[in-house]
Structure 1
């Protein structure tokens, strides 16, 4: 086999398991099959090469036999890595198979970006229909749910628009920090809190607009602040400016976002895009 500088080649490596490998150049390598025939397009006087068009490409081919004239269909040999005309052919160039074009390489997979964003509740309160926000049981930003003594209450945490930059990203995890459980209702027994996502960035005039949930979580008697995982669907609502609410039975409550419990209602949103 004859090769020239710059020729791509196939190399075989063999080893007996001990010592160095042996390298053997087995053949030249091409991106697609070489054409076997072509058509003469130019015969320069006195030149050892002629112009041959094959598969849409024009080559300078060495003449081994001849002479050749314009439009001759000729056989091509690629034994030395360069085209050589080795005789005339009776096959029309129109019968040549189309060139085999290697399919394009698929694009690399899109790079995935991930991260998380945390934030604290800007406010927390309890809503009681007769008196409005903060009017129930000396509220003090505590968060209640359920019915007691004929009064039905709901609680909520608000976040403003601090997560708006996550709109359009996929929220993959929603972590929420509860407050200390209050010693109200059947506080000596476990209590099931019912969490919802609402769409209010700030405290509305009436009750919150709860659009997802409930997600239930059971707090033990005297349960302290705890990280819990809420449904992923809550994440998109929070990113759009919403928040978290509790509503429904049983009657129970937890400390809200105050100086005594500053982490109550804190959120960590994991995201990707």
Structure 2
């Protein structure tokens, strides 16, 4: 999105839709040459997600500059600190590496060995162990454009949900055929998703407390998220329903904006996690 200039929103949306419709699993990950066990014993990750790095590079190569501000975070595995990459500290031709680093889920995929300009190597992974919501980076960039937090509007989209999930889905044939070795990975991804839901909910509440003057306009929660093994499958029949849900939610936000506002979210959080709503304000 950051590579599209103002005035080309329709083209941007169509390009994003086409990208998801044409994406295939082998553009994102593949098994290691000998067996998945090899990934756990000698490759630092159950699956090989190196194809995704090339996919992201091909995607960013289509653009000549950043037209919007952007921030991506990843965990520096050596220091244990989260690092933030944006249009000021990371050039466009390197940004696919930052995006890739943020996808390297520990245990599932190897750490990303990012070679630096000085010849050193830094190792990065997804920072889900620490937390995945950090509106502060967006707020700081906004404060470079305005002089008061009351002039800043934040929309939050929370991916994943707490819906019922069958640990071992009874899929037969198709993509799931002969994928029995991935069931443990499906369980791992589901547990990660549950952790996200709890930690992200608490994190959003904390950020609302810390930044009370910011206009927290919409906080949108995904209703029909993929889970388990489905999170490994990239094809139009799996991603198109998510696009349809996005369109439906966007229409509903415009029709019933208060259902997605800060107050509605805090009420839901209080009911779901047992916190007193008044204490969250």
- The question of a shared fold, defined as TM-score above 0.5 by the shorter chain, is answered with no
* TM-score between the two structures when normalised by the length of structure 1: 0.21
More helix, by proportion: 2
- Of structures 1 and 2, the larger Rg is shown by 1
Structure showing the higher strand proportion among its residues: 1
